[in-house]
Amino acid sequence: MHRFLTVGFVLSLSIPTAAAQAQTTLNNAWKCSVVEPVAAVPVTGQADHAYSVYQVKCAAVNGQVAGVKEKEGTATEFAEVMGSSNKGHGIFVETLENGDMITYDYQFTSTMNGKVATSASNTWTMVSGTGKAKGIKGSGSCKGKSDADGSLSLECTGSYTMGM
Predicted confidence band of residue 10 (pLDDT cuts 50, 70, 90)? very low
What's at 121, amino acid-wise? Answer: S
CB proximity list for 163: less than 8 A, separation 6 or greater: 129, 134, 135, 136, 137
Taking residues 71-81, report their average pLDDT: 95
Share of the chain above pLDDT 70, in %: 86
From residue 137, alpha-carbon distances to 88, 102, 132, 147, 155 in Å are 22, 10, 13, 31, 19
Q: Give the angle subtended at the CA of 108 by the CAs of 30 and 68, to the nearest 5°.
A: 30
Rg (CA), the chain: 20
Helix (H) or strand (E) holding 115: none
Report the chain's mean pLDDT, rounded to a whole number.
86
CB proximity list for 84: less than 8 A, separation 6 or greater: 111, 112, 113
Select the CATH number that applies to the domain covering 25-161 from these four: 3.30.420.10, 3.10.300.10, 3.30.450.20, 2.40.350.10: 2.40.350.10
Predicted confidence band of residue 118 (pLDDT cuts 50, 70, 90)? confident
Contact 68, 97 (CB under 8 A): yes
Contact 52, 79 (CB under 8 A): yes
